Homo-oligomer: A and B are copies of this chain.
Amino acid sequence: MDERIRVAVLAATGAVGQRFVSLLTDHPWFEVAVVTGSGRSAGRQYGEAVNWVVPGEIPAGVADLTVQPTNVAALEGEGVRLVFSALPSGVAREAEPEMARAGFVVCSNASALRMEPDVPLLIPEINADHVKLIEAQRARRNWEGLIVTSPNCSTTGIVFPLKALDDAFGLSQVHAVTMQAISGAGYPGVASFDILDNVIPYIKGEEEKVESEPRKLLGRLEGDAIRMADFVVSAQTHRVPVMDGHLAAMSVGLEREASPGEVREALAAFRGPEIVRGLPSAPTHPMIVREEPDRPQPRRDRDAEAGMAITVGRVQPCPVLDVKLVSLVHNTLRGAAGGAILNAELLVASGYLAASD
């Protein structure tokens, strides 16, 4: 008897949706029971409707599912309790609250609700305790279900070293320049005509996310709200001709003085809280510190710990702020589908999603 939790993947035909489907194959706790898509694909077999662009083949069990429209009705009667959302932000803003109201647990990768005061913006290793914000969410909204969100892919790469530095020395200012992979724009996403032999110094809406989300992630849960951390972030985001892996060149101002050696130690000592360690998708080392002068690199480091580890390096004193470093995240694994799945695992571990009914 399979006791796995039946899940739905919303917008399952897109690039991030495909990553969800791919990562959930053989997941020990979850199994894909429903896939949804837009008008064009709804009603067709998933294997026919999808233009499969992620590595590997379409999982056999999912290929045969009929793509459903993205609404509550499609989830009911299927035994689904957990929903992974790869919806575009505009659609997510309406659809996700309806599902939470109808009793579903929604783990969303969309940006729509990330900054809502009563919606946890969650990375288990960073702020697992923010999960308790769900109490306020349910109280205020009278939902049977719930919504938790995962941050922007670039935010994810940046916030790991920030967390370690904040804990050890306090943060005052952060300057981050990202070099982001084309997979971050989904499919078809960036035209090759635009990005071959080129860099594009602009990603719509991205700088705003990178400047605000870290302050919520590193904020403090006080009563029924998150008090935003009070450091300042300045971001400049770029698209580069790389398939996967967002690199960020960071410069950080600290509240207490620290030598590069102390910074390196603080980074290397980072583990995240106990509750995360046994989770199926949790990396053994959530943040890897490399000592070589030329690492991290997207192609060489993005797949560390199955794409779930952040890799940092090039820790140096900064003449303007205090310390410089470079951070890398696999944007569609840890930075999108993998991060949302780890969030769902945390919900199970913290009792917000029963392992079986």
Contact = CB atoms under 8 A, between A and B. Distances in A.
A297 interface: yes
Given A199-B297, A234-B320, A294-B202, A303 B55 contact: yes
Contact of A241 (B190, B194, B196, B238): B196
Interface in A169-199: 173-175, 177, 179, 182-183, 187-199
A293 B237 CA distance: 12
A314 interface: yes
Interface in A215-274: 232-234, 236, 238, 240-243, 247, 249, 251, 253
Contact of A197 (B174, B197, B293): B197
A274 to B, nearest CB: 27
B236 A199 contact: no
B241 A249 contact: no
The A interface is mostly helix, strand or loop, or mixed, namely mixed
Contacts of A233: 319-320
A326 interface: yes
Given A238-B179, A249-B177, A196 B192 contact: yes
A251 B250 CA distance: 12
A297 B300 CA distance: 21
Interface string A302-320: 0100000000011000111
A295 interface: yes
Contacts of A241: 192, 196-197, 240-242
B201 A313 contact: yes
A291 to B, nearest CB: 12
Contacts of A179: 179, 199, 238, 240
A182 B193 contact: yes
18 contacts: A55-B300, A183-B193, A188-B191, A188-B193, A188-B194, A191-B192, A196-B196, A196-B241, A197-B197, A198-B299, A201-B294, A201-B326, A202-B314, A234-B251, A234-B318, A234-B321, A236-B251, A238-B247
Interface of A: 15, 53, 55, 173-175, 177, 179, 182-183, 187-202, 211, 232-234, 236, 238, 240-243, 247, 249, 251, 253, 293-300, 303, 313-314, 318-321, 324, 326
